[in-house]
Amino acid sequence: MNLFVSEDPSFPLWRAGAPLILASRSAGRRQVLAQAGLPFESRPAEVDERAIEKALGDVGADAVAAALARAKALAISAEAPGRLVIGADQVASCGDRLFGKPETLEKAAELLRFLSGRRHRLHSAIALARDGALVHETVAHADLDMRPLSETFIAAYLAAMGETALTTAGAYQVEGLGAHLFENVAGDHWTIMGLPLLPLIDALRRLGALVA
């Protein structure tokens, strides 16, 4: 089911004909593509992320994020012959610990307590597929320094976020209320939002989908 279609499929820089398919329901990723003028539609991929992570075993955050992005792109690509499909995923790491979307608000609170006063890294992966085959993949990084958080703040923050805290790695969206969590951010805005835009645009040029 299409959740979103960009307004202008006749973007002058676009050469691929049919719009991109974004295999995600993420509002942030839709925003990134729309602001770049890229024509696209959104078709969320239904993949079992926990099963994929379990099958991977003890691998690093880059490998996990890339595998999830790949699975999403290939799942939708199999249903859309000839179309370019973007899969995307984001995993966070702090030391040896990897984490993604918290499953409950209680786990979100535990995660924020762990990250409080620490630096962590976001691993944002994209995969491009066409006709059921992978044609490009990239993992980009951003480092974020979370300020020390009080219990009062964590409770108030999660009350304000509600279930939205469960939809993103780290229980935050930097472009929204997540800005209240941080002292410093090192990395580009698009990577933090979960869709490394510059590597994506470069890949689309090389694939002939954008005017070079």
Can you tell me the distance from the alpha carbon of 89 to that of 81, in angstroms, rounded to the nearest whole number?
A: 22
CA nearest to 187, candidates 139, 154, 116, 128 = 139
- Are the C-beta atoms of residues 96 and 107 closer than 8 Å to each other? no
Q: Model-level pTM?
A: 0.89
Sorted by sequence, the CB contacts under 8 Å of residue 86 that are 6+ apart come out as 20, 21, 22, 23, 24, 40, 73, 126, 127, 128, 195, 200
- Could you state, in order of their start, the residue ranges of all structural domains in the chain? 4-206
- Are the C-beta atoms of residues 177 and 168 closer than 8 Å to each other? no
* Residue 9 binned pLDDT confidence (cut-offs 50, 70, 90): low
Residue positions annotated with a catalytic role: 89
* pLDDT computed for residue 7 by the predictor: 44
* Residue 144 binned pLDDT confidence (cut-offs 50, 70, 90): very high
- Name the burial class of residue 57, with classes exposed (0-12), middle (13-18) and buried (19+) by CB atoms within 10 angstroms of its CB: exposed
Query: pLDDT by residue (tens digit) across 146-165?
Result: 999 999 999 999 999 999 99
* pLDDT computed for residue 10 by the predictor: 67
**4-206 belongs to which CATH class?**
alpha beta
Query: pLDDT by residue (tens digit) across 182-198?
Result: 999 999 999 999 999 99
